[in-house]
Amino acid sequence: SFNKSILDPISNRYFFIPNPVKKIIKGAKKNTINIRLHPNYPKRGTRQLKTTNEFYLSKEDVASFKDDNYYRLMECLNFKKEKDNYIFYSKDITSFKKKGKKIIHWLPSSQNLVNVEVLMPNNKFIKGFAESTTTKLKQGDIIQFERFGFCRLDKKLKNKLIFWFAHK
pLDDT of residue 108: 96
Per-residue pLDDT tens over the stretch 140-163: 999 999 999 999 999 999 999 999
Split at pLDDT 50, 70, 90, the class of 1 is: low
HEC string of the chain equals CHHHHHHHHHCCEECEEECEEEEEEECCCCEEEEEECCCCCHHHCEEEEEECCEEEEEHHHHHHCCCCCEEEECCCEEEEEECCEEEEEECCHHHHHHHEEEEECCEECCCCCEEEEEECCCCCEEEEEECHHHHHCCCCCEEEECCCEEEEEEEECCCCEEEEEEEC
**pTM confidence score:** 0.92
Q: Using the predicted structure, report yes or no on whether residue 78 has a pLDDT greater than 70.
A: yes
Per-residue pLDDT tens over the stretch 30-56: 999 999 999 999 999 999 999 999 999
Per-residue pLDDT tens over the stretch 124-137: 999 999 999 999 99
Share of the chain above pLDDT 70, in %: 99
